[in-house]
Amino acid sequence: MIDRYTLPEMGRVWSDEHKYELWCRVETLVLEAHAAAGRVPADVVEPVRAAPPPTPARVAEIEETTQHDVIAFLTAWADNTEPRSAAAYVHHGMTSSDLLDTALAVQLTEATDVLLAKADRLVAALRDHGLAHRATLRVGRTHGVHAEPVVWGHRVADLAFAMARSRDRLRAARARVGVVAISGAVGTYSLIDPSVEVAVAEALDLRPADASTQVVIRDSVSEWVAALAVIATVCEAVALEVRHGQRTEVRELSEAFGSGQKGSSAMPHKKNPIRSERIAGLARVVRAAVVPVMEGIPLWHERDISHSSTERVFLPDAAITTDYLLHLTTGLVDNLVVDADRMRANLDLTGGLIYTSAVLLELVESGLSREDAYALVQGAAMETWNGGTPFRETLRSRAAASGVALDEARLDEICRPEGYVRNLGPLFDRLAALS
């Protein structure tokens, strides 16, 4: 991922420097387990442990010749080992994927911990914003068309719970990707004792794979990427709400606009939802990772490397982008400008059409058949749509023409927006308890 969208902590997780640090750690843990079991000389452990990781530049230089990244790494690290002869026991009984998959599991869990911390902050931001607007009336929209009165906090609560569930899915996926496989060339422990795998897993606070061939099958990694894609898409749902709310015709919501900020090189009046649009664009990047990574599940027999190049691109990019998305979305929510007066003005924009559902039920409960009541209310509503006459007036006229008596006092009572949200108390209680 380009530097523009890479935050330092997550960028460090996926850096080549950190990858080689993890490779050294895994290889050292394997060597320590061998030495503890008496399979290799005990005096080779300390020189290997003390050897600094090779630089990415040195590994890349050797790989130009070997065309094999793990061999290039082992050679470069051996060059850093004093005496170099101690390095002869590094990678003892292992295959490349023992190292690659185990170190990848560490990277995935490290990346997950960074993401979970940011997801917690976003959940809290959405929760607090929703509670702050539990009484902020606005019009609900279905198909983009005014429907019934709601409160802004209700929409935010829906997004808060969605992000909390998405975070919890990622937490569950962390447990499944956090596995160690130190099982040899085809996963049969032919040249390495299973106790080594157990020891390495314990040292890394991971667990041994249930089974492995030369690799750990990619169902769990696919689940992890899918969890990131869901998080990214919920971030986009937040952003989409803001993008709609900032449209000139709506103007209920807007992103913060800082002193000195510019919206357009040509039009000085512009205040554009650029953060929200960036979230929408980057969510596509994360979703794009799902299928390519999933296609790494079916490999030839015990292993091929068709998954390898895919994962080198998509795993870091998906993690780095999701990290940035969580950061962007939290900032968006924390600094969101809510125009409650405009929300209330838009609520009244259709001349009372938002109350047709309550009027329909009131007429049914007064004795009309549902069919007759629907026909009366819809006819009045269409007249309001087409001519702009307030709904109560068109309803009164059509009811009189049909010989239907209206209880005006009762209609006054039900044509109030507060009545539509009176039952949301338990929802906001649940929101307040969200963590």
Establish whether 129 is a catalytic residue. no
Q: What is the pLDDT of residue 238?
A: 98
User: Helix 194-204 and helix 96-132: axis angle, to 10°?
Assistant: 30
Establish whether 264 is a catalytic residue. yes
Q: Is residue 29 scored above 90 in pLDDT?
A: yes
Chain Cα centroid distance, residue 21: 28
Q: What is the pLDDT of residue 270?
A: 80
Is 405 in a helix, a strand, or coil?
coil
Output the CA–CA distances (angstroms, integers) from residue 406 to 289, 378, 398, 413, in the order listed.
59, 16, 11, 13
Q: Is residue 61 scored above 90 in pLDDT?
A: yes
- What is the tens place of the pLDDT at every residue in 218-242? 999 999 999 999 999 999 999 999 9
Domains belonging to the chain, first-starting first, are: 1-92 (1.10.275.10), 95-345 (1.20.200.10), 350-421 (1.10.40)
Q: Is residue 307 scored above 90 in pLDDT?
A: no
CB 170 within 8 A of CB 119: yes
Query: Of these residues, 143, 269, 301, 435, which one is catalytic?
Result: 143
CB 177 within 8 A of CB 220: yes
Query: Of these residues, 264, 306, 357, 369, which one is catalytic?
Result: 264
Whole-model pTM: value is 0.94
Q: What is the pLDDT of residue 266?
A: 83
- What is the tens place of the pLDDT at every residue in 252-289? 999 988 788 887 778 888 888 889 999 999 999 999 99
